[in-house]
Amino acid sequence: MNCKIFKKLIKIIGAATGILFIVYFWNLDQKLMAWLYTLVNNIFDRKKVDQVF
């Protein structure tokens, strides 16, 4: 019984490590943040400004 749990745990840890390595290798987190940054900038650029400095 413990062997099945141990094997399942090793598979989950291995899959998580593989996914994190792919994200790190292709810098996907920074690419996602750059996309979100431009999206948020576009949203705020459309808003009317109430104070001008």
pLDDT value, residue 53: 74
Write the DSSP string, 5-42. HHHHHHHHHHHHHHHHHHHHHTTHHHHHHHHHHHHHHH
Tens of each residue's pLDDT in the chain, 53 residues: 789 999 999 999 999 999 999 999 999 999 999 999 999 999 988 888 887 77
